[in-house]
């Protein structure tokens, strides 16, 4: 295969939580549709790059069968090396062109195409939909992300100016330097008393902060096509697919718990979810979408019975603001939800539920273990659509506490050995991990050492013997909280 721009400049590859089958199956679970059990799922990623999104799934779910392909042979080779070093046999990567893939590639319960659709020519975009239709199992779910309109008009405006500035400039370093020069020129010289240029400036600043490789490919690459939701859905429909939901729960809010804005939109345009969401995109100048598609033939009843929440798992960092909260009466308790958000709850069952969720954080717990009360189910769904807690259809295999011979995620240990400062958590998130002592400690957790052995290893490394046992406990606790411990 001829080298591509992605062979010339590697694209950073890492997990995207919103693409995980545990999340993709959520709308199916809430709508009462069948979906494949995620721990044994067949998963395909189209345009997987170095497979940083699917290798962690293969590590967490030994029973899953995972395939990824990409046009960039060097990205596939890099991913294959990681797979070989981890000794994984449930994942396969191939250097392939979307245009060459058809039904013979296999049937998959979950198909992911992240960061591909808007960055490939029309014929390949068509190929993405064709592959999904051909390879998606009857109860399957597909995730496709794309740049959205109308918000992307603003990004297009900047891209066109930058592209003009870069005319005739070739090569990664030169294009990057030229783009940055232009962005700074704009920020320093466009007027501050003009609302449009002020908005453009804030986009320019965000672009300057982006990873240079992402900037090079995403903003400065040859193709950058945004779409209105209705255009994307029409394209999917032409290929026998249909809109099921947006991947991020916040986008179900107006459908499940409509605000006055949602009510006004449905009064004006009806309750069709695509129509409704299209108008909400207009109001919010939406820039990006991550849409879950399914086969057009599937009958979808969008009525959500809140009791279906009881089949799910929940995770959240909720903390009661006071040390000894009253969880039994109707006295309001304030819960801090992270990122500065807080909520006051007086319903005793919901208070207890949220308290339990926070105690288990970051480990998900089954909703079935929380007080069995319709207010809890509805409350959890509301908190989820507000972005305060996470709901999934399955539990990620991460340990709440370390076992006799603690084991850290083999992927995280390999990433450390490869010198990476950001590791992949077992909950399919990224964990910044730069502290030298913790890095050294994590490498010891291969399941061969007891706590006593770990103490000895720290002492041999120069640690103070009297405090070494406490250090081991503190490190193990910290790693469990980061979702890096398997056992």
Per CB under 6 A, residues contacting ligand SAM are 4, 6, 11, 13, 47-49, 70-72, 75, 97-99, 114-116, 119-120, 124, 217
User: Residue 3 or residue 171: which is nearer to ligand SAM going by CB?
Assistant: 3
User: Residue 47 or residue 325: which is nearer to ligand SAM going by CB?
Assistant: 47
Cβ 419 to ligand SAM, closest distance in Å?
A: 20
Measured CA to CA, the distance from residue 137 to residue 132 in angstroms comes to 9
Cβ 17 to ligand SAM, closest distance in Å?
A: 12
Cβ 132 to ligand SAM, closest distance in Å?
A: 13
304 in Cβ contact with 310 (< 8 Å): no
User: Residue 11 or residue 232: which is nearer to ligand SAM going by CB?
Assistant: 11
48 in Cβ contact with 406 (< 8 Å): no
Beta strands 108-113 and 136-147: pairing type? parallel
E-strand ranges in 123-186 read: 136-147
Cβ 72 to ligand SAM, closest distance in Å?
A: 4
User: Residue 16 or residue 313: which is nearer to ligand SAM going by CB?
Assistant: 16
Measured CA to CA, the distance from residue 258 to residue 270 in angstroms comes to 13
388 in Cβ contact with 411 (< 8 Å): no
User: Residue 71 or residue 149: which is nearer to ligand SAM going by CB?
Assistant: 71
Cβ 206 to ligand SAM, closest distance in Å?
A: 17
Residue corresponding to tokens 């066109």: 160
183 in Cβ contact with 157 (< 8 Å): no
Residue nearest to ligand SAM (CB): 47
User: Residue 218 or residue 377: which is nearer to ligand SAM going by CB?
Assistant: 218
Cβ 15 to ligand SAM, closest distance in Å?
A: 9
245 alpha carbon, distance to own chain's centre: 15
Cβ 117 to ligand SAM, closest distance in Å?
A: 9
Residue corresponding to tokens 């046992």: 469
E-strand ranges in 214-308 read: 241-246, 288-295
Measured CA to CA, the distance from residue 303 to residue 263 in angstroms comes to 17
Terminal-to-terminal C-alpha distance of the chain: 42
Cβ 6 to ligand SAM, closest distance in Å?
A: 4
95 in Cβ contact with 71 (< 8 Å): yes
User: Residue 49 or residue 249: which is nearer to ligand SAM going by CB?
Assistant: 49
Measured CA to CA, the distance from residue 353 to residue 338 in angstroms comes to 17
User: Residue 122 or residue 173: which is nearer to ligand SAM going by CB?
Assistant: 122
- Whole-Å CA distances, 287 to 3, 331, 368: 30, 42, 37
């Amino acid at each position: 295969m001829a080298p591509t721009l992605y062979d010339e400049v590697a694209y950073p590859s890492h997990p995207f939580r919103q693409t995980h089958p545990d999340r993709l199956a959520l709308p199916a679970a809430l709508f009462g549709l069948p979906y494949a059990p995620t721990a044994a799922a067949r998963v395909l990623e189209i345009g997987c790059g170095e497979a940083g999104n699917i290798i962690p799934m293969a590590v967490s779910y030994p029973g899953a069968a995972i395939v990824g392909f990409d046009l960039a042979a060097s990205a596939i080779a890099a991913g294959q090396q990681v797979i070989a070093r981890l000794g994984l046999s449930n994942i396969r990567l191939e250097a392939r062109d979307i245009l060459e893939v058809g039904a013979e590639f296999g049937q998959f319960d979950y198909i992911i195409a992240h960061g591909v659709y808007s960055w490939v020519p029309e014929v390949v975009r068509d190929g993405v939909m064709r592959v999904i239709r051909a390879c998606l199992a009857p109860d399957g779910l597909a995730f496709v992300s794309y740049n959205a309109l109308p918000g992307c008009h603003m990004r297009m405006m900047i891209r066109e100016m930058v592209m003009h500035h870069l005319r005739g400039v070739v090569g990664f370093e030169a294009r990057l330097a030229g783009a940055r020069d232009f962005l700074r020129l704009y920020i320093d010289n466009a007027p501050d008393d003009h609302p449009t240029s002020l908005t453009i400036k804030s986009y320019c600043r965000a672009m300057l902060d982006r990873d240079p490789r992402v900037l090079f490919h995403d903003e400065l690459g040859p193709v950058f096509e945004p779409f209105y939701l209705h255009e994307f859905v029409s394209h999917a429909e032409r290929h026998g697919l249909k809109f099921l939901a947006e991947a991020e729960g916040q986008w179900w809010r107006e459908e499940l718990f409509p605000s006055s804005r949602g009510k006004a939109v449905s009064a004006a345009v009806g309750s069709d979810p695509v129509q409704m969401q299209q108008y909400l995109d207009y109001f919010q100048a939406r820039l990006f979408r991550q849409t879950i598609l399914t086969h057009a033939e599937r009958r979808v009843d969008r009525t959500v019975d809140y009791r279906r929440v009881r089949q799910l798992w929940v995770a959240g960092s909720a903390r009661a603001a006071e040390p000894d909260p009253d969880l039994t009466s109707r006295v309001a308790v304030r819960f801090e939800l992270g990122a500065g958000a807080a909520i006051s709850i007086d319903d005793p069952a919901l208070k207890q539920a949220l308290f339990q969720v926070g105690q288990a954080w970051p480990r998900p717990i089954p909703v079935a273990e929380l007080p069995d009360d319709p207010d809890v189910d509805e409350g959890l769904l509301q908190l989820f659509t507000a972005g305060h807690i996470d709901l999934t259809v399955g539990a990620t295999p991460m340990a709440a506490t370390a076992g006799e011979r603690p084991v850290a995620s083999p992927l995280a240990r390999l990433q450390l050995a490869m010198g990476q400062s950001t590791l992949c958590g077992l909950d399919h998130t990224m964990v910044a991990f730069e502290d030298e002592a913790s890095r050294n400690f994590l490498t010891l957790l291969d399941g061969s050492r007891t706590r006593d052995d770990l103490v000895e290893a720290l002492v041999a490394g120069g640690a103070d013997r009297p405090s070494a046992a406490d250090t081991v406990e503190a490190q193990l606790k910290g790693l469990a909280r980061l979702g890096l411990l398997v056992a």
